[in-house]
Amino acid sequence: MSYTTIIHASSLTNDEEKQITGKIPGELIQREGYYRLIHSGKVERAMLEQLRVQFDFDLNCLPESFNPEEVGLLITDMDSTLIAIECIDEIADMQGIKAEVSEITEAAMRGELDFAASLKKRVALLAGLPADQLQRVYDERLRLNPGADKMLAGLKQKGIKTALVSGGFTFFTNQLKGEIGLDYTLANTLEIENGKLTGRVSGDIVGAEAKAALLQSLCKELGITTNQVIAMGDGANDLLMLEKAGLSVAYHAKPAVREATSVAFDHSGLEGVCHLLQL
């Protein structure tokens, strides 16, 4: 059986080629922006980690069950994955309490705090903030992570549906859906009264279970299996969703997430998804 390792580098020196193929013997094929290395034996993750550190670019061996031609859905987290910020931390900055809220966010993403409880605690600190500050965050601070445009164009080219699922807020996911052409979104709703945040979330909290449930429900809706899904995230509340996908991607992620996923982007931008799809 042959395996494919994706080398997320636009070019390799002769020395880099020799060192990589010396440790992973196989056929090296250069593509636009990356390389495919076709080899007969499975590569130990520790070997890839060693090379990743040595060369400052990512190497990922695709699972043998993953077929890029059959992918029907990419489902991704929003904060610090599709976009470069944590929205709740930037909202908190408008209230002058970013450091306090960021500390809770980091602990929750590492899995040290219950996500729902930590979200309620953080949102409570936002009580009284004028709701128009949310648009300021969107306009002034929200940016897509590098490579997002290329990834989205590649997914559209392949007819792959896109879902954005977030423990963040619908204010941001809904605008992103319209702006960049996503197919599905799910997030929490901030309660607003008299033009100000109440410090509460409306309805059920979108956390780890809801993210995983959306993946499964979209598979049913689209008539595909979970093996035909790429899931991507960076924090502990993404783990249940990532576990269910045929290919799970840790995007500049916390250690617990990197250890649990099929592949990891430590250096690559979101264009790395196109490499996994062999576009």
Element (H, E) at 35: strand 34-39
* Separation CA 26–CA 20 (nearest Å): 10
Q: Model pTM?
A: 0.95
The CATH code belonging to domain 67-279 is 3.40.50.1000
User: How confident is the prediction for the chain on average, in pLDDT?
Assistant: 96
| Model confidence at 223: pLDDT above 90 | yes
pLDDT on residue 243: 98
- Per the annotation, the verdict on 58 as an active-site residue is no
Catalytic hit among 56, 58, 77, 89: 77
| Domain at 1-61: CATH architecture | 2-Layer Sandwich (3.30)
User: Which residue is listed with tokens 């409306």?
Assistant: 202
User: For this structure, is 238 an active site residue?
Assistant: no
Give SS3 for 135: helix
Count of C-beta atoms within a 10 Å radius of residue 194: 7
Burial 255-274 (b: 16+ CB within 10 A, else e): ebbbeebbbbbbebbbbbbb
Give the residue-averaged pLDDT of 235-261: 96
In this prediction, residue 109 carries a pLDDT of 86
- What is the model's pLDDT at position 113? 87
Chain region(s) in the chain for CATH 3.30.70:
1-61
Q: Which two tokens stand for residue 220?
A: 């049913």
The tens digit of pLDDT for each residue in 1-27 reads: 899 999 999 999 999 999 999 999 999
Q: What percentage of residues in the chain have a pLDDT greater than 70? A: 100
Catalytic residue among 15, 56, 58, 79: 79
Residues of the chain with CATH 3.40.50.1000: 67-279
